[in-house]
Structures are given as C-alpha cells and as structure tokens.
Amino acid sequence: MKAKKYALLLTSLFLFHTTCSAANSDMINNPFNLNTESTLSNNYNADIDAFWQQYAQANTFQGIDEKNIHTIAITTGNDKAIVISQGRNESVLKYKEVAYDLNLKGYDLFLIDHRGQGLSERFGGDQYRGHVIHFQDYVDDLNQYVDSLALEKNYTQRYLVSHSMGGAISALYLEQYKTPFQGAIFFSPMLSINLGGLPPFIAKAVTYSSAEICSWFSDKACYVPAGEGYTKRPFEGNQLTHSEKRFYSSQYSFENIPATQLGDATMRWVATSISATEQAIKEANKINIPILLIQAGADEVVTSQGQKDFFDNIKNCKDSQFLTIDGAKHEILIESDKYRITALTHTLQFLISVAQGKRTCTK
C-alpha cells in the first residue's frame, strides 16, 4: 500500500514538473510589463480607451499645398517624447495600445495622420483612393509637424518611431532635414515593396505612365489593377498579424468612424513610392542618429532586400541595430504577444541605451 502511494506521489510530482515546464516554455519574457492580448477585446479594452479619451488631444495644421493634416498629442508631463510616423491606410486610432504602453513607460506621444488617410484631408477624386501626388509631400509635412512641436525646448530625450510607409517617410526626413531626434526605430519599413516578382523599374514605368494616361480621361486618380474602395477585411488569411483581437481592434475605427476608411492605392501612389524607397536607400548614409530596424520575418507586404540595403548604407552609425523577428507578419505593433512584446522590449532597451550614451554616430 505504501509502495502504491509512493508511486502515485512520484507520478503527481512528475506531472506537476512537466506541466510547469510546459507553461514556462510558453511564457513570454515581458520585462517592461507591456500590455498583453489577454486583456483585450475586439476594441482594445476599457483602460486603453479611457486613457485615449483622457489624454489624446486632436489638432490640425496646414501641410504642403495647404492640406489639412490631423494629429494627436498625448502629453502627461514627461521629459521624454516619441513622434510616430504611421504606415499606409492607418490612422492614429490604430496606435491606441502602442501609445498606452509607451506612455506608461514615461514617454509623451505625438502622432500624425499622413495626408490622404486617417482623419487628414483626402484627395485623388474621392475619400477612398490611397493617393499622393508627390511622396516628398509626406516628408515635408512631417518636417513641418516636428518643427511645430519644439521638442528640443520641451524634452531631454526625443525619438522617432515609424512603421511601413512611415519608415520610408522617416528615412527621407532624417536624410534631408536637421532633426531634433536622438534615435529612431523602424518597424517593417517600406524600403522595397512586394511587387509580386515584377522588377521595380518596370513597375515604376508602368504605374507612372498609367497614372498620366488616366489623368487624360478622368478627374479621379486610377486605382492599381483590381483596386477598389474601402472593403471590410476578414481576419482569416490576412497578411498583417496573427493576433485576432488586435486585428479587429485595429479595424474597429474603420467600421465605426467612416471618415477613417480608405481603399486601395492608386497608380500614382505606387509609382512615387517606388522612387521614394530607392532614394531613401541611396541616401541612407546621410542619417546621423542611431537607428533600430526591426524586420518582420514573415512579411508579405514589403520585401527584406530594401531593408538590408538601407541598413548597409548607413555608414556613420556603427551602433545602429538590425533585428529580424522570425515568424512575425508585417504589422509587428499589432502582432501576437510573442512578436509584439519582443519588438517593443528591444525598442525600449534601445532607447535606454541611446539615452545612456551607449549608441552614437560620427558626423
């Protein structure tokens, strides 16, 4: 009888150890106590929404050609600031959770809806065409916005964070303008677009000529082939994220605030974007602040080659860092915890090391 009880005890201890080991292997290292999917619904959560309602201050300014550009400021008395440059077909509302996390870590946040999307002024013929005449307009808008913030006067630490298209905008901005920033983070930067195997020079020639021909016959900019206005997208089969909760949270504003809805890109947008990415890579050696480039290993929206070429051309900042997160899809900031927390942990560690003077550049 004693032997039987002893055997049962050993079995229980073994099962307990195995269960704990399995649980520990699934645990995600989260040293900064970042928000997790377990707290989320399909519209973020009550704490995040209350934070946004209390602190997100909406403003507008007149960008290039006097276009109205929508912005958000979240200022809670910190001495550190982050400006966020968003990707295509995004709005500031998509960054609620990111802003919440970063503000809790001591950063004031400044966000911009780039022209033609979010709550900024639209053009291209109707609300839904993802259009821009000159990619440089994005860059000049960003510079005007950053100048208006007087960051050097108000903050001891100042950083630029960007995603996708916002990465190309930020790269060109850093290459062209005197910047108040001490470091920059690029999440899945759009430095070469996935063109389905079509060589960029052919894609550029076709889209530029198609945009020009289209303008002869219509006041509306032409969509890319098979392009259309806003369409509600399902989670299944999406190219953006593995996280269903974050996917639907990011889509919530599109459904409930129709002014944020956007459709597919236009021919002109593709053409000028390809040229912009080539310029950003070519002139990367002009960047003189340390950067962290975080690449999504399973990205199907942009390709890795442009990111590698861009990083390799940054000659003045040997303390910059290139990180690939294997398995992550394009939208790292709304990805599943194991990808998102990894990315944001490296981001916060990088910013701390910049603040400590451990990452510098020659000029």
Task: Note the pLDDT tens digit of each residue in 93-115.
Answer: 999 999 999 999 999 999 999 99
Span of 5-19, 156-170, 204-218, 331-345 with lowest mean pLDDT = 5-19
Q: Check pLDDT > 80 for residue 65.
A: yes
9 against 90, higher pLDDT: 90
* pLDDT at position 26: 53
* pLDDT at position 282: 98
Domain boundaries, the chain: 39-355
Average confidence score pLDDT of the chain: 92
Exposed/middle/buried for residue 102 (C-beta within 10 Å: 0-12, 13-18, 19+): buried
- Summarize the confidence of residues 251-272 as an average pLDDT: 95
Q: What is the largest CA-CA distance in the chain?
A: 94
Identify each DSSP E strand in 177-327 by its residue range. 183-187, 291-296, 321-325
| Overall fold of domain 39-355 | Rossmann fold (3.40.50)
- Summarize the confidence of residues 107-131 as an average pLDDT: 96
Span of 19-23, 77-81, 257-261 with lowest mean pLDDT = 19-23
Q: Is 72 helix (H, G, I), strand (E, B) or coil?
A: strand
110 forms bridges with which residues in the sheet? 73, 83
Judge whether 46 and 95 are in contact, CB under 8 Å: no
- Summarize the confidence of residues 3-31 as an average pLDDT: 47
- Summarize the confidence of residues 286-294 as an average pLDDT: 97
Q: Check pLDDT > 90 for residue 347.
A: yes
Q: Check pLDDT > 60 for residue 159.
A: yes
* pLDDT at position 363: 61
> Which among 333, 164, 330, 187 has a CA at the least distance from the CA of 246?
333
pLDDT tier, 47 (very low <50, low <70, confident <90, very high otherwise):
very high
Q: Check pLDDT > 60 for residue 128.
A: yes
* pLDDT at position 310: 98
Q: Check pLDDT > 90 for residue 269.
A: yes
Span of 52-61, 190-199, 334-343 with lowest mean pLDDT = 190-199
Exposed/middle/buried for residue 120 (C-beta within 10 Å: 0-12, 13-18, 19+): buried
- Summarize the confidence of residues 129-144 as an average pLDDT: 97
Q: Is 145 helix (H, G, I), strand (E, B) or coil?
A: helix
Distance CA 299, CA 279 (A): 22
181 against 14, higher pLDDT: 181
